[in-house]
Amino acid sequence: MFLQRVAKQGTTNAGRILLLVLFSVISVFSQTQAKLVEWAQDPIGTRVGTPKPQLLLKDQIDGVEIEDLAVAGRSISVGQPFAAPDEWIRSLTARVRNVSSERLVAIQITFGFPDAGDGSPEFVICYGCAKVEREKGVMPGEEVELKCPGDEMYDWVKGRLTEKGSISRISRARILHMFVTLPNGTKWFSGCIKTSDPKNACPISAPRTEN
């Protein structure tokens, strides 16, 4: 009888442990629901647009190449879901290479959040937002990391998103456009950027004319 009670108690404890493990897994999963980084379906750009002073609107920026996108240091692919905690956008980064023949002063990618609906705040990752980075620039062939310029920017975006509901429901970040600043003040501007990995390639927008 004693052995039976011990065996029964052991089974009960094992059941409790299993339930605790399952509960922990479910809790973790709820904090790491699927997220996604995506291109806009109709990226900002043009193939036949009229040049504007110091702002060159391009169908795709080819002078800068995205080498890697990451969240919390882990590589991700555009359009492929990945697990991440609620405040995942804080650690969103891009590693880019200057594949042009010119020194670049600053590089910036801007994201929007479809889950937030109309009036979504824009989130920026950049290299060159800080004065020391602008002074150094990005030389031809050099790689740099684009990241959130600071807590003030993130706290503002988080606050705006929270006004529209819990930040935990923000599961998608959409690439809106890139700005690249040259030493003479000229800027390259486009919703498409060259990528080293074909899986991350941008769907270049169809040609359109200006009215």
Tell me: do 54 and 156 sit in the same domain.
yes
Give the per-residue pLDDT at 123.
Answer: 97
Tell me: do 81 and 151 sit in the same domain.
yes
Confidence of residue 4 (pLDDT cuts 50, 70, 90): low
The helix (H) or strand (E) run that includes residue 25 is helix 2-31
Question: Residue 23 pLDDT more than 50?
Answer: no
Give the per-residue pLDDT at 209.
Answer: 42
Question: Residue 210 pLDDT more than 80?
Answer: no
Report the phi/psi class of residue 170: left, alpha or beta, with left for phi > 0 and alpha for psi in -120 to 50: beta
Query: Which residue has better confidence, 208 or 49?
Result: 49
Confidence of residue 50 (pLDDT cuts 50, 70, 90): low
**CA–CA separation, 37 and 173 (whole Å):** 5
Q: What is the pLDDT of residues 120-163, one digit of tens each?
A: 999 999 999 999 999 999 999 999 999 999 999 999 999 999 99
Q: What's the farthest any 2 CA atoms get from each other in the chain?
A: 92
Tell me: do 132 and 120 sit in the same domain.
yes
Tell me: do 144 and 110 sit in the same domain.
yes
Residues in the chain: 211
Tell me: do 26 and 49 sit in the same domain.
no
Range of the domain at 20: 1-31
Share of the chain above pLDDT 70, in %: 78
β-strands 55-57, 187-190 pairing: parallel
Q: What is the pLDDT of residues 96-108, one digit of tens each?
A: 999 999 999 999 9
Share of the chain above pLDDT 90, in %: 68
Strands (E), the chain: 34-39, 55-57, 61-71, 74-76, 82-83, 92-98, 106-112, 123-127, 143-146, 172-181, 187-190, 193-195
Confidence of residue 51 (pLDDT cuts 50, 70, 90): low
Tell me: do 61 and 160 sit in the same domain.
yes
Question: Residue 8 pLDDT more than 70?
Answer: no
Number of H helices, E strands in the chain: 3, 12
Break the chain down into helix, strand, coil percent, rounded to 5.
Answer: 30, 35, 40
**CA–CA separation, 95 and 98 (whole Å):** 10
Q: Provide mean pLDDT across the span 72-94.
A: 96
Q: Please check whether residue 125 is in contact with residue 146, taking contact to mean a CB–CB distance below 8 angstroms.
A: yes
Residue 22 token pair: 């399952």
Question: Residue 62 pLDDT more than 50?
Answer: yes
Confidence of residue 54 (pLDDT cuts 50, 70, 90): confident
Beta bridge partners of 36: 172
Instruction: Say if 90 falls within a structural domain.
Output: yes
Give the per-residue pLDDT at 52.
Answer: 65
Q: Is 187 helix (H, G, I), strand (E, B) or coil?
A: strand
Give the per-residue pLDDT at 81.
Answer: 97
Instruction: Say if 69 falls within a structural domain.
Output: yes
Tell me: do 50 and 26 sit in the same domain.
no
Domain count, the chain: 2
Tell me: do 99 and 9 sit in the same domain.
no
Instruction: Say if 205 falls within a structural domain.
Output: no
Beta bridge partners of 147: 126
Question: Residue 21 pLDDT more than 80?
Answer: no
Tell me: do 21 and 41 sit in the same domain.
no
Tell me: do 27 and 41 sit in the same domain.
no
Confidence of residue 10 (pLDDT cuts 50, 70, 90): low
Question: Residue 38 pLDDT more than 90?
Answer: yes
